Amino acid sequence: MFEKVSFYASVDDLHVNIQTGFYLLLIAENTPIPDSFFTENTRFIGGFFPSVLFGKEHYNEGIIAAKLSDLTRVYSVCMEHLSIIPFPAQSHSIFTLANSDSSHMEPFLETLYSFLPEHAKLIGGAGKNIFSYEKSCHKEACWGECALVLASTQKIGLGVKHGWEPLVSPFIANSCKGRMVEKINFKDAFSVYKDAIEKYSSLRFHTMDFEEIAQKYPLGIVRYKKDFIVRAPIQTDGSSLSLAGSLDENSVIAILQGTKTKLIEAAKEASQNALNNFENNAPSSVLLISCHARFLFLGDDFNQELETILSLYPPAMPLWGALSLGELANDNQEGIAFYNNTCVIGVLP
């Protein structure tokens, strides 16, 4: 899918070192980007993320440039009006970048899944300002609905784990509207969330910022004989909870808790799973899509997570990726899931 992956500290460095070829760019959101970069763009696709990852480091400024191989097909699509993607029949791996602010995330992923060739593995993430050298939709109202879908005949290994465990459950999300949870167990969602956390921990909402507590206690969607899909609360109006992903009405949910040790162990397990189902002889790089909220929770120990992931590979193995606003994968072959607070790893040929 990718021939070479490099890190550049600035757009100037990018232009000096890249003269030919087509590239996927993962750009840290604090990187200064001139407007002319987009108006003159004929060779780049990509998106913006809170931070990018390269080696054992994360960067708040900088650009990951992954050169597309000749075997890679690129589709720039509208998340609202996706109708068809003519994937080649032998497409074994799919990489997707989607707009985190889109209200059409779940319908887009359902439609995209319906087009996937059998046994294709998908990895990707949600970011901001997804861009391409061609328009994804000619309708002005769809500005900001761009998604990128890359397809390759090469096979990848895929691993997905989060490490969060239930603090208290079950609850029923009785009233939900998209990414907003209004009622849990027929009570105001925030009231239920607050009471549970203050009962089972020493944290108090009147003495701490909501975001600081929410990083430690995400929600989990309960699935039959499967792991939770994590949903990160991002704000409250005092009665409802706004999440970083949608929640279906009447979903069974749990309030989750975690430790840094458990999360780092889960990242290693995801890395091992990706390596175990990699069918080629030797990988060329490791792609990591990890949640920005997960990074905030781990703090200074996030670099330990990177080191733990890389410990399973030869010393010179390149690791690259992004801290995302949502992680994408189809590790169970039953659909494409939109995750929060999760570690998604791809082993690439």
Question: In this predicted model, what pLDDT tens digit does every residue of 7-34 receive, in sequence order?
Answer: 999 999 998 998 789 999 999 999 999 9
The pLDDT assigned to 135 comes to: 62
* Interval 272-280 mean pLDDT: 94
The pLDDT assigned to 136 comes to: 55
- Residue whose entry in the numeric block shows the structure tokens 């009006």: 81
H or E element at residue 99: strand 93-99
Res 142 pLDDT > 70: no
Mean pLDDT of the chain: 94
* Interval 103-107 mean pLDDT: 93
Q: CA-based diameter of the chain, in Å?
A: 59
Q: With pLDDT > 90 as the criterion, what percentage of the chain qualifies?
A: 85
Res 141 pLDDT > 50: no
The pLDDT assigned to 334 comes to: 81
C-alpha to C-alpha distance for 117 and 216, rounded to whole angstroms: 38
Q: Comparing C-alpha atoms, which of 232, 227, 199, 194 is closest to residue 215?
A: 232
Res 42 pLDDT > 90: no
Res 39 pLDDT > 80: no
Q: Is 252 exposed, middle or buried (0-12, 13-18, 19+ CB in 10 A)?
A: middle
Predicted TM-score of the model (pTM): 0.94
Kindly give the interhelix angle for 260-276 and 302-310, rounded to the nearest 10 degrees: 30
Res 327 pLDDT > 90: yes
Residue 51 in contact with residue 57, Cβ under 8 Å?
A: no
Q: Which pairing describes strands 343-348 and 157-161: parallel, antiparallel, or unpaired? A: antiparallel
Task: Give residue-wise pLDDT tens across range 145-160.
Answer: 889 999 999 999 999 9
Q: Comparing C-alpha atoms, which of 99, 237, 247 is closest to residue 173?
A: 247
Q: With pLDDT > 70 as the criterion, what percentage of the chain qualifies?
A: 97
- Residue whose entry in the numeric block shows the structure tokens 């763009």: 41
Q: Comparing C-alpha atoms, which of 119, 71, 70, 120 is closest to residue 96?
A: 120
Query: Alpha helices of the chain — where are they, by DSSP H?
Result: 11-17, 36-39, 105-115, 189-200, 210-214, 260-276, 292-298, 302-310
